[in-house]
Chains A and B, each alone.
Chain A
């Protein structure tokens, strides 16, 4: 969860004021990104709308809001013509409090016996589950479902823990069942409201006076903090996600200055001054392991820095954890540009960590889109600062996402190797590539959908598909859908390509055909055409056609079909159709090993 009290200098009425100002301003509704949020709650939840509106605006998101009828969330969900459904939200915040769920049993939990308590929890769970199912069937919105605050009191006092399925235990059970119910659900996310209340202090979560006066069950003063937690979900929904942490070295990854203090002098290890840096590195490593890319931007002698990576016994991060290393005496702005170019990612997906205030200021001014972390002066707070960050969230993680940090390191090594070889063919030959085509199955479908969503450059049609769409294609006998994995001597690139082909009697038509840009130009694309041609021929087809839809971003693919021996047969306003006659075989590049994989069987199509 994000940090309490950090940037929350604005009071709740400041938010209301800002909201009014923004609503009346000329630029109202002119933000680039937008999101429609609906709020369903069991009590007066005024203020969430205003605070979220302002917080979204700060990130350039226009936020359209619907507040469900007071305490009538079930009707809003069940009635297809309700305001909720008419609004067609992208996100539904579902905030029901524990008192509403329990009713008078909240105060008299032991007027029920053990079995009745169990039954009550089961009933409540089923109620929520069936409402959620209904909501899912009528809406594509992501659903942020609050769990329940576990109470701090019990009429039984210290004997509470001796009860069979006691009051506290029953709320905990409800929370744990909620989590289990939606664990594998990619539409419903359980928001750990109980943990959030612990963070702000459960004694603060509700102001009793406000509850009795206005049925406000959450202290208004903490609304900004609550909304910050909602933002953690909203950011990835509008694709505001950071991918890479760019790190300084001296006094950031270790204490002291390597050029002055030397290998023995820097602080890094199991001492009071060294441990903060060691544990900071450990947490960075765990971010790397979940897919965050790491890079270095440091003014230092390269060899001095390398000595630490190679020789220091307590150095947690190794050279192998960094996808780009700009260690030199260039200015940090130039280095930052070089890093973004090398990794081929936008500067808006970078986070910068540097202990030096003036460096931070310089980067902030040069790249306002970079998240420059306000590092505390005291290194003992580095770890906490890093743990409080919530910029790397994605709503669904694929195997490829987890490996991303590693893959970018391999890519750096590949590039270094390429520079050392004389020509491209020699380089490609010595990579020992293995390309695996795998028919769509339940394991690769999420990734195929993700690739259609995210690939802009080498994407012949730029058609975006949801998981459900890919699943439908894969179940249709008239379609051939497969993913592409590329491995070489530097490692596994993971699934980096996909194609969707419509199988006609005489003609096979290639629709979606895409490859991640770091793979393009390595003859993988030709290998796939050869595979498609072979399969089409085997099935008795005479020709292959392929669609190309030009966009602003896919110019790299402009001449692909042309250069691959296809001829243009139709040119419409926004679409070209290319054709290849199967009279001739399409040749597999001879230095790539091609494998065709089906769910449970491995069959070598060609080696």
Chain B
């Protein structure tokens, strides 16, 4: 989970401390639609997992992201 936080912090250019369940697409300024895709791409590469297109669309917050990554065994 620490890795995931790192990646999110890096892509969104925010402090790692701020990466928690309250972080959402609507309250994080840099979390626009392009950075969303960049985030997915980086997580797939770094953690060696693959998201389905439906999942990518469904993720709206760090909590969503964390749960889906967990469901993939990471």
Contact = CB atoms under 8 A, between A and B. Distances in A.
Contacts of A207: 41
Interface string B42-74: 100110000111001100000000000000000
Given A46-B34, A213-B53, A213-B56, A12 B13 contact: no
B27 to A, nearest CB: 20
Contact of B38 (A12, A20, A209, A212): A12
20 contacts: A11-B42, A12-B38, A13-B10, A13-B11, A14-B10, A16-B11, A46-B34, A207-B41, A209-B40, A209-B51, A209-B52, A210-B37, A212-B53, A213-B37, A213-B56, A213-B57, A216-B37, A220-B37, A221-B41, A221-B45
Chain A CB within 10 A, most for which of B7, B42, B57: B42
Interface string B24-37: 00000000011001
A11 B6 CA distance: 13
A209 B51 CA distance: 9
Contact of A13 (B38, B52, B56, B57): B38
A44 B42 contact: no
A13 to B, nearest CB: 5
A14 B45 CA distance: 13
A201 interface: no
A518 B13 CA distance: 54
Interface residue tally of chain B, by bracket?
10 to 19
Interface residues of A, number: 20
A157 interface: no
If over half of B's interface residues share one DSSP class (helix, strand or loop), that class is named, otherwise mixed; here it is helix
A17 B13 contact: yes
A209 B55 CA distance: 11
Nearest to A210: B37
Contacts of B13: 16-17, 20
Given A46-B34, A210-B37, A213-B56, A13 B51 contact: no
B15 to A, nearest CB: 13
A220 B38 contact: yes
A272 interface: no
A103 interface: no
B41 A44 contact: no
A552 B34 CA distance: 50
A46 B7 CA distance: 19
A46 B34 CA distance: 8
Nearest to A46: B34
A46 B57 CA distance: 19
Nearest to A212: B53
Given A13-B38, A13-B42, 4 more contacts: A17-B10, A209-B52, A209-B53, A214-B37
